[in-house]
Amino acid sequence: MIHQTSGIVFKFFKYRETSVIAKVFTSRFGVQTYIINGIRSGKKGKGRMALLQPLTLLDLVVTHKENSDIQRLSEMRCSHPYSTIPYDVRKAGISLFLSEVLYKCVREEGPSEDLYLFLEQSMLVFDELDDNFQNFHLQFLVKLSRFLGFGLDSSPGFMLDFSAEEVPVIRRLMDINYGEELILGRSLRRTILSHILDFYRHHVEGLKEIRSLNVLMEIF
């Protein structure tokens, strides 16, 4: 059947000579795998490839068959064009990193309106921030953990996984809004990120190497 849904791009892979396979988290069906034919051929196709950049927000027309591993995507358009993320190397690096984490952590999730709205609203706010976004990825991961069922601040081992210096920072990251000022030194920011990722690895099977982490470290 043909359906309309919104979606957020996690990742895509080249498929054959002119097509791609895209992993998209949709508001209606959760994580789905879509084959998009011919998108890598011709000028029109190359323009559509821009729609598959990490965490792009889309409106989709798709064919959905229950129990099918790969669905077909017939139409897509950007629902909320970003004004800063594609043009700011720091923001683009953060988006690349977060899309890889999401791809590896939200693989089996079914439909979740709350999670989708969290992702959508987080990215829209991120795009609008002019400053104080150097900790966005930390805030995002801390807040995301609640939606994945293992909130950092609600974990019995929370106090053991983080140092006395880190615990109040984690709690503040959970409570404040994106863009609120929180001054962290480079070393502490890196240490907290490393410990957050270790915490994620403890709860998410298969979350090992994150290739885009090196890019993020170079940017900041």
My answer on whether 57 and 137 are in the same domain is no
My answer on whether 92 and 182 are in the same domain is yes
Supply the CATH number for residue 36's domain. Answer: 2.40.50.140
My answer on whether 92 and 127 are in the same domain is yes
Total domains in the fold of the chain = 2
My answer on whether 69 and 115 are in the same domain is no
My answer on whether 98 and 8 are in the same domain is no
My answer on whether 89 and 115 are in the same domain is yes
My answer on whether 100 and 43 are in the same domain is no
| Residue of higher predicted confidence among 40 and 147 | 147
| pLDDT score of 111 more than 90 | no
| pLDDT for residue 15 | 87
Query: What distance, in Å, lies between the first and last C-alpha atoms of the chain?
Result: 46
| pLDDT score of 171 more than 90 | no
Of all residues in the chain, the percent with pLDDT exceeding 70 is 93
Using the 3D structure, point to which of 51, 78, 105 is the last residue of a domain. Answer: 78
CA dist 76 and 32 (Å) reads 14
My answer on whether 68 and 90 are in the same domain is no
| pLDDT for residue 163 | 85
My answer on whether 99 and 40 are in the same domain is no
Rounded to an integer, the average pLDDT of 96-100 is 97
| pLDDT score of 143 more than 90 | yes
My answer on whether 179 and 152 are in the same domain is yes
My answer on whether 155 and 208 are in the same domain is yes
Using the 3D structure, point to which of 36, 61, 78 is the last residue of a domain. Answer: 78
Output the CA–CA distances (angstroms, integers) from residue 74 to 23, 204, 210, in the order listed: 15, 32, 31
Host domain of residue 168:
85-219
Using the 3D structure, point to which of 26, 52, 78 is the last residue of a domain. Answer: 78
| pLDDT for residue 59 | 96
Strands, E assignment, 46-201 = 57-63, 71-78
Confidence of residue 152 (pLDDT cuts 50, 70, 90): confident
CA dist 123 and 79 (Å) reads 12
Average pLDDT, the chain: 89
My answer on whether 57 and 107 are in the same domain is no
| Residue of higher predicted confidence among 143 and 46 | 143
Confidence of residue 176 (pLDDT cuts 50, 70, 90): very high
| pLDDT for residue 105 | 93
